[in-house]
């Protein structure tokens, strides 16, 4: 297997080198991928990249997208952004674009992701060779959840109209085509590809028809492919400014997927504390270390019962992250994914950000879990803890981040007290989650409210 670096676009963050597990047996500091001075390799790498880009893409229908390797062979439709080198948010967006990019509509809250997602006049969001890619927009800050809900309602209405128009034109169309367009599952890449083929076939037939209904159906036909709505934003939006809207959207029961890129601080505006900022962390408006623990937005969402919730950390457990994305997308109701995103405002060497996520999980600071309402019936246990019991003391994890170590330096007494409380937070939360993992649920009826 070869990995080709886009030499003109690489930010030099060093994360790929840090996570690479393969070392030379002759000189262990040499890995399968290494940083090197750009000048030495620039021209040749440009030539190599051109060759690489001309290679055919992998067939999405033939690759298992549920695996790490399979998902990473897919074409990313989120390319080179203006995010910080080593940003913890962007891998999730890249993954999202690889899994669902060619049929996603994204409502992006204002914040880092809206800035690097639309560093006008450029955008990192891209198209594939068929000209398909995510449709992306940023409205405001507080309105992002509602913005995304509005997009969902609009898409649902378009689909509804398309289906209506299709049924009305059924007499003029091949019966098997109409049935397949209306009732195919579209649950796999193969089925999605077949649906697109059917739409091509439909358009061909419609082009031979002169009626206004045919013209309308032509315009609406693409709506017959399942669209995925992603409501994306940081914790400043999700936990604070846009929380009311988010709550409203989760309560709606509509099929939207919320992705919170949780840096635990307002990153874009220079590191102000949010309700996601953990206890003992130093941030602006929490210069003496935040004294209150982090809001557990996952549990709040889970209290509804009908919301799919997952907490992921792609650097620690990429397979669990991929599973969560698939489950969220397939769940026909509101989904919430909380994604641990290391940030420059954590005060770490971002080149080690991905491996550092492992310690976030090992310490229990960021436990991994999935709550799937589909399991919560007939006494099933919908909450599943995906990470192991904490083994690393929180202090050991925290001392590697300036947002905690700064307090250890400026006010050791206060730091000691807050770190002790923070460790207790972790113990308590783990114990609480362990108990919830044993809770049986009998959630009934909400499917009826969200399906047509």
| φ and ψ at residue 229, rounded to 5 degrees | -105, 125
Q: Which stretch binds another protein (CB under 8 A): 191-199, 356-364, 407-415, 441-449?
A: 407-415
**Integer Rg of the chain from CA:** 23
> Judged by CB under 8 A, does residue 321 bind another protein?
no
Q: Which is nearer to another protein, 101 or 271 (CB)?
A: 271
> Judged by CB under 8 A, does residue 74 bind another protein?
no
Q: Which stretch binds another protein (CB under 8 A): 58-66, 99-107, 340-348, 362-370?
A: 340-348
Beta carbon of residue 28, minimum distance to another protein (angstroms, whole number): 4
DSSP class of 240: I
DSSP class of 238: I
How far is C-alpha 177 from the geometric centre of its chain's CA atoms? 34
Q: Which is nearer to another protein, 173 or 350 (CB)?
A: 350
Distance of alpha carbon 87 from alpha carbon 76, whole angstroms? 17
Beta carbon of residue 118, minimum distance to another protein (angstroms, whole number): 15
Task: Kindly list the distances between the CA atom of residue 230 and the CA atoms of 23, 151, 213, 335, in Å, as whole numbers in the listed order.
Answer: 38, 10, 31, 9
DSSP class of 303: T
Q: Strands across the sheet with 335-340, in order?
A: 135-138, 104-108, 228-234, 257-262, 335-340, 308-312, 369-371, 383-385
Beta carbon of residue 358, minimum distance to another protein (angstroms, whole number): 13
Which of residues 137, 406, 421, 450 is near another protein by CB under 8 A?
406
Q: Which is nearer to another protein, 166 or 350 (CB)?
A: 350
Beta carbon of residue 288, minimum distance to another protein (angstroms, whole number): 9
Which of residues 9, 64, 179, 349 is near another protein by CB under 8 A?
349
Within 258-297, the residues that bind another protein by CB under 8 A are 267-271, 282-287
Half-sphere exposure of 148 (CA within 13 A, CB side): 36
From the list 261, 387, 380, 258, the residue with the least C-alpha distance to 331 is 258
DSSP class of 208: T
Which of residues 44, 61, 248, 409 is near another protein by CB under 8 A?
409
Within 79-118, the residues that bind another protein by CB under 8 A are 84
Q: Which is nearer to another protein, 28 or 54 (CB)?
A: 28
**What does the angle CA 437 – CA 258 – CA 273 come to, to the nearest 5 degrees?**
85
Mark 364-403 with x for binding to another protein (rule: CB under 8 A) and - for no binding. Answer: --------------------------------------xx
Within 14-53, the residues that bind another protein by CB under 8 A are 23, 28
Total residues at interface with another protein (CB under 8 A): 25
Within 205-244, the residues that bind another protein by CB under 8 A are none
Q: Which is nearer to another protein, 300 or 406 (CB)?
A: 406
Distance of alpha carbon 411 from alpha carbon 282, whole angstroms? 11
Tokens in use for 182? 């209306």
Distance of alpha carbon 162 from alpha carbon 218, whole angstroms? 9
Beta carbon of residue 345, minimum distance to another protein (angstroms, whole number): 4
Beta carbon of residue 23, minimum distance to another protein (angstroms, whole number): 6
> Residue 49 class from Cβ within 10 Å (0-12 exposed, 13-18 middle, 19+ buried)?
middle
Tokens in use for 205? 């037939």
Tokens in use for 245? 């809207």
Q: Which is nearer to another protein, 289 or 318 (CB)?
A: 289
> Judged by CB under 8 A, does residue 345 bind another protein?
yes
Beta carbon of residue 267, minimum distance to another protein (angstroms, whole number): 8
> Residue 75 class from Cβ within 10 Å (0-12 exposed, 13-18 middle, 19+ buried)?
middle
Distance of alpha carbon 406 from alpha carbon 267, whole angstroms? 18
Task: Kindly list the distances between the CA atom of residue 379 and the CA atoms of 247, 299, 449, in Å, as whole numbers in the listed order.
Answer: 27, 20, 21
Beta carbon of residue 344, minimum distance to another protein (angstroms, whole number): 6
Q: Which is nearer to another protein, 84 or 361 (CB)?
A: 84
Beta carbon of residue 80, minimum distance to another protein (angstroms, whole number): 17
Q: Which stretch binds another protein (CB under 8 A): 131-139, 146-154, 229-237, 344-352?
A: 344-352
Q: What's the sign of the alpha-carbon dihedral 416, 418, 420, 423?
A: negative
Beta carbon of residue 244, minimum distance to another protein (angstroms, whole number): 24
Binding region for another protein (CB under 8 A): 23, 28, 84, 267-271, 282-287, 344-345, 347-349, 402-403, 406, 409-410, 412
């Amino acid at each position: 297997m070869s990995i080709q670096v886009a030499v003109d676009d690489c930010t030099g963050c060093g994360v790929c080198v840090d996570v690479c597990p393969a070392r030379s047996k002759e000189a262990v500091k040499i890995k399968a991928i290494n940083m090197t001075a750009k000048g030495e390799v620039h021209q040749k790498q440009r030539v190599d990249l051109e060759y690489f880009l001309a290679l055919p893409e992998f067939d999405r229908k033939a690759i298992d997208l549920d695996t790490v390797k399979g998902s990473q062979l897919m074409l990313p439709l989120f390319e080179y952004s203006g995010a910080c080198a080593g940003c913890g948010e962007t891998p999730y967006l890249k993954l999202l674009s690889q899994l669902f990019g060619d049929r996603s509509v994204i409502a992006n809250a204002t914040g880092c992701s809206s800035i690097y997602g639309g560093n006008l006049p450029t955008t990192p969001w891209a198209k594939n060779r068929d000209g398909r890619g995510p449709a992306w927009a940023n409205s405001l800050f507080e309105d992002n959840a509602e913005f995304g809900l509005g997009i969902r309602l609009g898409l649902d209405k378009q689909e509804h109209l398309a289906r209506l128009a299709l049924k009305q034109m059924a007499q003029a169309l091949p019966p098997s085509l109409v049935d397949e367009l209306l009732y195919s599952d579209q649950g796999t890449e193969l089925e999605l590809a077949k649906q697109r083929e059917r739409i091509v076939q439909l358009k061909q037939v419609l082009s031979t028809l002169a009626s206004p209904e045919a013209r309308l159906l032509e315009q609406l036909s693409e709506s017959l492919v399942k669209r995925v709505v992603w409501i994306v934003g940081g914790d400043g939006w999700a936990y604070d400014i846009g929380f009311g809207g988010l709550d409203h959207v989760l309560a709606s029961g509509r099929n939207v997927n919320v992705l919170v890129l949780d840096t635990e601080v307002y990153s874009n505006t220079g590191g102000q504390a949010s309700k996601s900022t953990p206890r003992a962390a130093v941030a602006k408006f929490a210069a003496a270390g935040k004294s209150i623990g982090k809001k557990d937005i996952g549990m709040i969402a889970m209290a509804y019962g009908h919301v799919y919730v997952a907490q992921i950390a792609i650097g620690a457990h990429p397979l669990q992250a991929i599973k969560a994305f698939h489950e969220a997308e397939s769940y026909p109701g509101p989904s919430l994914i909380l994604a641990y995103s290391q940030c420059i405002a954590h005060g770490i060497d971002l080149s080690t950000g991905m491996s550092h996520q492992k310690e976030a999980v090992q310490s229990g600071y960021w436990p991994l879990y999935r709550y799937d309402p589909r399991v919560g019936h007939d006494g099933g246990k919908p909450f599943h803890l995906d990470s192991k019991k904490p083994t690393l003391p929180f202090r050991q994890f925290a001392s590697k981040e300036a947002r905690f170590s700064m307090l250890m330096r400026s006010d050791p007494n206060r730091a000691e007290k807050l770190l002790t409380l923070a460790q207790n937070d972790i113990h308590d939360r783990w114990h609480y989650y362990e108990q919830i993992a044993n809770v049986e649920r009998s959630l009934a009826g909400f499917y009826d409210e969200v399906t047509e």
